[in-house]
Structure 1
Amino acid sequence: MVAQGFQVDLSKPLVFQVGHLGEDYEEWVHQAIVSKEGPRFFESSILEFFTRTRWWVIPLVWVPVACWLISLSAAMGHCCSHLALLTGSGIFMWTLLEYTLHRFLFHSKTKTYWTNTMHYLLHGCHHKHPMDSLRLVFPPAATAIIATPVWNLTKLLSTPSTAPAIFAGVLLGYVLYDLTHYYLHHGQPSSQMPKKLKKYHLNHHYREQNWGFGITSPIWDKLFGTMPPPPKAGKKST
Structure 2
Amino acid sequence: MSAQAFTVDLDKPLVFQVGHLGEQYQDWVHQPIVSKDGPRFFANDVFESLTRTKWWAVPLIWLPVVCWCINTSIQMGHTVREVALMAVVGICLWTLAEYMLHRYLFHIDTKSYWTNTAHYLLHGCHHKHPTDELRLVFPPTATAITCILWWNLIKLFTTTSATPGVFGGFLLGYVVYDCTHYYLHHGQPSSDPAKYLKKYHLNHHFRIQNKGFGITSALWDHVFGTLPSTKAINKST
Q: What TM-score bracket applies, with the shorter chain setting the length?
A: over 0.9
For residues 5 and 86 of structure 1, the distance between their equivalents in structure 2, rounded to whole angstroms, comes to: 54
Residue 5, structure 1, aligned to residue 5, structure 2: yes
Give the structure 2 partner of residue 148 of structure 1: 148
SS of the aligned residue for 1:157 comes to coil
Give the structure 1 partner of residue 212 of structure 2: 212
Contact 2:200 2:236 in 1 (8 A): no
Give the superposition deviation at 1:158: 0.5
Give the structure 2 partner of residue 117 of structure 1: 117
For residues 17 and 200 of structure 2, the distance between their equivalents in structure 1, rounded to whole angstroms, comes to: 31
For residues 56 and 185 of structure 1, the distance between their equivalents in structure 2, rounded to whole angstroms, comes to: 15
Give the structure 2 partner of residue 86 of structure 1: 86
1:14-71 Cα offsets, whole Å, 9 max, x none, are 0000000001100000100011110000000111011000000001111111111111
1:197-218 Cα offsets, whole Å, 9 max, x none, are 0000000000001100000000
Give the superposition deviation at 1:145: 2.1
Give the superposition deviation at 1:190: 1.2
Stretches of 4+ aligned residues off by more than 3 angstroms: 229-232, 235-238
Give the structure 2 partner of residue 203 of structure 1: 203
> Which AA in structure 2 matches 1:194?
A
For residues 228 and 218 of structure 1, the distance between their equivalents in structure 2, rounded to whole angstroms, comes to: 10
Contact 2:202 2:236 in 1 (8 A): no
1:165-189 Cα offsets, whole Å, 9 max, x none, are 0000000000000000000000000
For residues 21 and 146 of structure 2, the distance between their equivalents in structure 1, rounded to whole angstroms, comes to: 27
Give the structure 2 partner of residue 188 of structure 1: 188
For residues 193 and 231 of structure 2, the distance between their equivalents in structure 1, rounded to whole angstroms, comes to: 20
Note the residue ranges of structure 1 that are not aligned, 5 or more in a row: none
Give the structure 2 partner of residue 138 of structure 1: 138
For residues 102 and 44 of structure 1, the distance between their equivalents in structure 2, rounded to whole angstroms, comes to: 29
Give the superposition deviation at 1:231: 4.7
| TM score, norm. by length of structure 2 | 0.96
Contact 2:204 2:213 in 1 (8 A): yes
Note the residue ranges of structure 2 that are not aligned, 5 or more in a row: none
For residues 81 and 230 of structure 1, the distance between their equivalents in structure 2, rounded to whole angstroms, comes to: 39
1:36-51 aligned at under 5 Å gives the runs 36-51=36-51
Give the superposition deviation at 1:230: 5.2
SS of the aligned residue for 2:176 comes to helix
Contact 1:231 1:237 in 2 (8 A): no
Residue 70, structure 1, aligned to residue 70, structure 2: yes
CA RMSD in angstroms, aligned pairs only: 1.4
Give the structure 2 partner of residue 176 of structure 1: 176
